[in-house]
Structure formats: structure tokens, C-alpha cells
Structure 1
Amino acid sequence: MKATTSWAEATLSEFDGVRFLHLDSIWVQGAMRIRKPNQLELEYVQRMMAWLLWRDIDALEREAGELHAVQLGLGAAALTRFCLHELRLRTTAVEINPSVIAACRQWFRLPPDGPRLTVLNQDARQWVDDPAHLQTVDALNVDLYDHEAASPVLDDEDFYAACRSVLQDGGLMTVNLFGRRASFARSSLRIAKVFGSDQVWQLTPTKEGNTVLVAGRGVRVPDRETLLARAATIESRYRLPARKWLRLVRPLPMSILQGLQT
């Protein structure tokens, strides 16, 4: 993100039991169901947890205290709350806009920092570029948009290479992109060049056009039977539509992968 001392102010709206975060515009930056604050309300945010399909869920729960989840972009803190409270992972959120952090603490049930939670008012690029963070992350969620939600504010090969560098071997990244825009192919190609085409998958777009990409650092794709069992476990334990994800996930299209040859 570009360095600046002026940030869009966080505001909120509420409708039908859901509280929404905005940044000086009509665009929704995040949401929370007031009576179920740890539930992931928005469909694309749910899909940002699709990395769970590539992990042994029983092992993840046994090792939760040793695993590290990081969110680049706080939004309404939905993923941060979920990783902290539902998965019980050590969780770090990196957000450049102090107004967003204050709003999440006041309106979106973001707890104070503690042994398992760190919220940093910092540029996401600076965080991933820090050598101290090399291979320290098991799950990385990247959702970095400006106040108009027009396009990712960090979207180049150097940034995605830094994202890969902070992942442990077997670590996974999910990225929110707009799949119905021309920028999607460019962003996907940049990620595939860094991670390798066999380590990148996409879910088909939501009705709003959000497409979540999953990228791994040396991950192995389980067989179909294992995936089906794992999806059922994710649904029963975390109330996420993981069996639907299986129907939606696929490799990047050949039209994008052909760009790797140029």
C-alpha cells in the first residue's frame, strides 16, 4: 500500500441482524452477524477458509497451539475471530488503516491482543518482507483492497513471492480476487509464476464476482475419498460449506496457464 497519513474513516451499517463495515463508501468491507460473531457471514469470506481442505483436520486441532494464521487486511475481523476462536490458532492480523482496527475493537468483537492474538497497524508488504517472518506462517489470508474495493492494492510478483516466503513448507495462502474482471488473469498468472501452476487452485466466482485463489508451498492434493471425508468434517465442526467448495475448486484455466510460457 502507498504510504500516507490520511486513511478512509471506518463506518458501519446494520440490516437484518448483520453489521457491515464500510470505508467512506457504499462498498462492504466486512460483515458480522451480531448474535453469532464467530460465524463467517459473507460467502467469499467463508471461501477464504478453503485452505482447510488441504490440511488434516485432526492434526490441525492437535497442533493448533503451534500453528500460525495471518490475515493481511483486517476487514471486519471475521477471519481473525474465526482463526482465533474456532480454530484456536495463534493469529496475527496486519492492517494499515488505524480506523479499521479501532472499528473492529469497538463494533466487531475483536478482542485485545493477548498470547494468541496480535493485531498490527502496519503495511502488509513491510510485514511479508521482514526476514523475521520467513517460514513462520501456516495459513495466510490476503484480502487487500482500497476503500472503493476496486482492485487489490498489492498485486505484483514480488509481493506474492514474499507471501510464499513467509509460509512454512506445506503452508497455504488464500487470496480474494475479482474473477469477472480483466485483472483476475493478470493476478492469477503472477501467483502461478511464484507458486508453480501445480500449487494454485481457484474456486468459481461468487455471485458478487469474488474469486478465491488457494496457493500452497509444497502441498500435496489428497485423493478424492480423503477430500470428501475432510469436507464432511469441516462442515460438522466449523459449519462451513466445504462439500460445496469441492464442487467449485479447480486448477487455473489453460487460458491463464499459457501465459507461463511467455
Structure 2
Amino acid sequence: MNTVSPKVLSIPSPFAVNGVIKVLEAPDADPSILLNRLLDGRYEKPYVVDDGHSRALYFSFSFVQSAMRLSQPNSLELAYTRKMMSFVLFAPQPKSILMLGLGGGSLAKFCHHHFPDTQITVVEINPDVVAFRDEFKIPPDSDRFRVVLSDAALYVASCAASFDVIVTDAFDKDGFASTVCNREFYFNLRRLLAADGLLVANLAGRREERKVHLKMLGDFFNERTLAVPVGRDDNHIAIAFNNRDFAPCWQTIRRRAKALSRTFDLDLEKFAEKFARSEKNAHRQ
């Protein structure tokens, strides 16, 4: 029997004038049925909302997974992605980056654009997320950039490489992916870090879950962890340092923030102050 392979199908969006919702379905799929499933939360695949000015990746309408401005596809639209890139305050020229979670590729594209000499590996478990790669203008695989379809926990468990920076942003529609919620995962992350490497983690979701992940970070990196909230959102960004002797010189970091803010078009001076306060508050506890 012949089957029709799924592809990116556009259906009119009920939320934006001239907007569309893009789904991974066969061309002959019934748009009205798909729209009803999307609206009542029964649709199980990721999807894209395109209003002609921006594209956003969703797992459900309650949470924007990733966003891209069509006129500036390499910029960072969401606050948490901008704050995650504050790792450049501590590692301004990484030779290698491992990213766990692709989403709409915001961080991957930003690093690909700003670090032309850096080896970037991105691991994504969901083939449907990878299928939207072209919609979000994610670069093709090359000798310095590749997207690997794999479970993040399995990948880091078997990986033998070393990375200057590891970025974790591994979520599914229910929050933290279950395979990254254990001590073995964090043990392997630290094992893969270079001696002076750092880990930057997006800790979204419920407060109880966030505390569990912060506890595991603290266990493996001792007091070499900084964490700051993202605006009024629930998520926090944490940076953990592998070097046991690392002690940030905030005067140097403030100077670096001022120099790099224009290069990256990020408010790194503000981020530096927030991380400095985070360290002071940690020492007071």
C-alpha cells in the first residue's frame, strides 16, 4: 500500500492575521482536525507558529520553546537564551561547544555565527524537532558544525571527547527530559569538560525540579556554581566551573563585559553584575 510521507504542512493560524501554523503531516491531512487537536492540547508533535515576522517553536501553546525573527535569524529573541550566552564572560573564545537540545536552534546559530573557529556539536533526541531545521535557518552540517540525533544522556555516557563549554537545554513538552534528571548525567557532563571548561544550564520548570538540579550541580562542582533567575520567569540559568581553583575576578569580567557587549549585542554588563551578586549571596548562606 502506498503511503504519503509527512512534510511541513501549513494551515491558517487562528491567532495571527495572515499567519500560519506549520506541522509535520502528510499533504492530504485534514487542517480542521489538526487545528482542533492543536487547540485542545492533543497534538503530540512540535509545531511552528509563523506570523510573517517571526517563527516560534512550540510543544504546546502554553510554552514557547524557541523563537526567531525572520529579519534577524541569528539573533537571540528569548531572554533565557541571551542570559545563557553570558558564558562568554568566562569563556570568550571556546574551541569546542557541546549543546544538549536543539529546539529552534537559537543558541546553535548564534554560536555558529559568532565563533567561526569553534567546533560545535548539537544533540537532539526528537527527529521532529530536527525536521524543522530549515524553517529556523539552522546551518547544514559541516566540518565545524553538526547536529546529532540522539538521547543526550546516552550521548554523554558514550562520548570520549572533551569540550570547553557544555550547554544543557534539554526539555520536552512536560519539562525536564527524564533521562537528564539523575546524578549519572551530571557525572558524565563533568567528565566531558576540559580542565578549565564550564557548564551552562537552563533550569526551567517547577521550583522543586530546579532545586534538585541545582543540588546535583552543587554536588559535582562544589561551590563553583553561579545561578541567576531569568526576569520574572520561573527558569534560572546556572553556570558551573570545572576548575577547582577557579575564582572569578569580577573587575576583569566587568571589563570583558563592556568590551564584548557590542560584539555580541548582549547586555553583558548587566549579566556580569547579576552573576557577581549571585556569588556574594552564595557566600552569605
TM-score normalised by L of structure 1 = 0.83
CA–CA distance in structure 2, aligned partners of residues 103 and 16 of structure 1? 16
Is residue 79 of structure 2 the alignment partner of residue 43 of structure 1? yes
Give the superposed CA RMSD: 2.3
CA deviation profile, 1:231-251 (whole Å, cap 9, x unmatched): 112201111111111222113
Map residues 152-163 of structure 1 onto 2, 5 A cutoff: 152-153=177-178, 154-163=180-189
How has the CA–CA distance of structure 1 residues 252 and 163 changed in structure 2, closer, same or farther, with 3 Å as cutoff?
farther
How has the CA–CA distance of structure 1 residues 152 and 211 changed in structure 2, closer, same or farther, with 3 Å as cutoff?
farther
Deviation at 1:169, TM superposition (A): 0.8
CA–CA distance in structure 1, aligned partners of residues 51 and 272 of structure 2? 31
Map residues 29-178 of structure 1 onto 2, 5 A cutoff: 29-55=65-91, 57=92, 60=93, 67-88=95-116, 89-104=118-133, 106-133=134-161, 136-148=162-174, 150-153=175-178, 154-178=180-204
CA–CA distance in structure 1, aligned partners of residues 51 and 237 of structure 2? 26
CA contact (8 A) 2:176 2:205 kept: no
How has the CA–CA distance of structure 1 residues 46 and 16 changed in structure 2, closer, same or farther, with 3 Å as cutoff?
farther
Q: Secondary structure at the match of 2:198?
A: strand
Letter matched to residue 237 of structure 1: T
CA contact (8 A) 2:124 2:152 kept: yes
Deviation at 1:111, TM superposition (A): 1.7
CA–CA distance in structure 2, aligned partners of residues 68 and 190 of structure 1? 24
CA–CA distance in structure 2, aligned partners of residues 152 and 254 of structure 1? 28
How has the CA–CA distance of structure 1 residues 253 and 8 changed in structure 2, closer, same or farther, with 3 Å as cutoff?
farther
Is residue 224 of structure 2 the alignment partner of residue 195 of structure 1? no
Deviation at 1:181, TM superposition (A): 1.2
Which residue does the alignment assign to 1:17? 53
Larger radius of gyration: 2
Q: Secondary structure at the match of 1:85?
A: helix
Q: How many residues align structurally?
A: 238
Higher relative contact order (CA 8 A, sep 6+): 1
Q: Secondary structure at the match of 1:35?
A: coil
Letter matched to residue 203 of structure 1: V
Deviation at 1:220, TM superposition (A): 2.4
Deviation at 1:179, TM superposition (A): 7.4
Q: Secondary structure at the match of 1:48?
A: helix
CA–CA distance in structure 2, aligned partners of residues 252 and 70 of structure 1? 29
Map residues 196-211 of structure 1 onto 2, 5 A cutoff: 196-197=222-223, 199-211=224-236
Deviation at 1:25, TM superposition (A): 4.4
Deviation at 1:72, TM superposition (A): 0.2
CA contact (8 A) 2:79 2:230 kept: no
Is residue 252 of structure 2 the alignment partner of residue 232 of structure 1? no
Equivalent position to 1:184, from 210, 214, 227 = 210
CA–CA distance in structure 2, aligned partners of residues 211 and 12 of structure 1? 25
Equivalent position to 2:279, from 235, 251, 257 = 251
Q: Which runs of 5+ in 1 are unaligned?
A: 1-6
How has the CA–CA distance of structure 1 residues 152 and 201 changed in structure 2, closer, same or farther, with 3 Å as cutoff?
farther
